[in-house]
């Protein structure tokens, strides 16, 4: 009888540990994926959010441009008078080498040359620079 009791508690212990292990693994997977602050989707979203907020300097920090090129692009964006009404990241694909990606984005915007609001799905190229994802301009 003592053997059966011991076996029962041992089996119960094993099942309890399996449940704890599964819960812990699920929690860690969720935590690690939700803390990825440098995914291609996040970088594109941050770029367009900064642009929508008219913070072009901040937006350009999410790009692969150097300082001189950032200044030129900033002036061009100012001249265009681009207004982003809304955007939504639809998805992304990362190449096998984990160095380039394409983010699909729905963008509703207008500019000084075309004040009509236009909505388009765009494919935004991204590139890993020093381990960080950036919007690829050139």
Q: Are residues 70 and 100 in the same domain?
A: yes
At 34 the pLDDT is: 38
Domain of 89: which CATH number?
3.10.450.100
Its domain, for residue 11, covers 1-35
Residues 86 and 97 in one domain: yes
At 16 the pLDDT is: 52
Name the pTM for this structure: 0.69
10-40 residue pLDDT tens: 445 454 534 433 433 333 333 333 345 689 9
Structural domains in the chain (count)? 2
Question: Bridge-partner residues for 132, per DSSP?
Answer: 129
Listed in sequence order, the residues at least 6 apart from 109 whose beta carbon sits closer than 8 Å to its beta carbon are 82, 83, 84, 85, 117, 118
* pLDDT (0 to 100) of residue 26: 35
What 8-state DSSP symbol labels residue 63? B
H runs (alpha helix) in the chain: 2-34, 40-52, 56-60, 67-80
- 46 and 26, same structural domain? no
The reply to whether 103 and 124 lie within a common domain is yes
Residues 19 and 58 in one domain: no
Let me know whether 31 and 43 are in one domain.
no
Q: Are residues 63 and 118 in the same domain?
A: yes
Mean pLDDT of the chain: 79
Same-domain check for residues 21 and 61: no
31 and 44 housed in the same domain: no
If asked whether residues 64 and 116 sit together in one domain, one would say yes
Of residues 2 and 119, the one with the higher pLDDT is 119
Please tell me whether residues 92 and 74 are part of one structural domain.
Answer: yes
The reply to whether 48 and 106 lie within a common domain is yes
């Amino acid at each position: 009888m003592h053997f059966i009791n011991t076996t029962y508690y041992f089996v119960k212990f094993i099942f309890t540990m399996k449940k704890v292990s599964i819960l812990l693994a699920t929690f860690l997977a969720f935590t690690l994926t939700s803390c990825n602050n440098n995914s291609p989707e996040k970088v594109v979203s941050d770029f367009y959010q900064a642009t929508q907020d008219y913070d072009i300097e901040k937006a350009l920090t999410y790009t692969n441009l150097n300082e001189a090129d950032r200044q030129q692009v900033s002036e061009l964006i100012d001249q265009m008078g681009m207004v982003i009404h809304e955007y939504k990241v639809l998805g992304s694909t990362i190449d096998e080498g984990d160095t380039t990606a394409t983010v699909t984005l729905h963008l509703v915007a207008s500019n000084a040359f075309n004040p009509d609001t236009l909505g388009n799905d765009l494919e935004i190229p991204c590139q890993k620079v020093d381990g960080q994802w950036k919007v690829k301009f050139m």
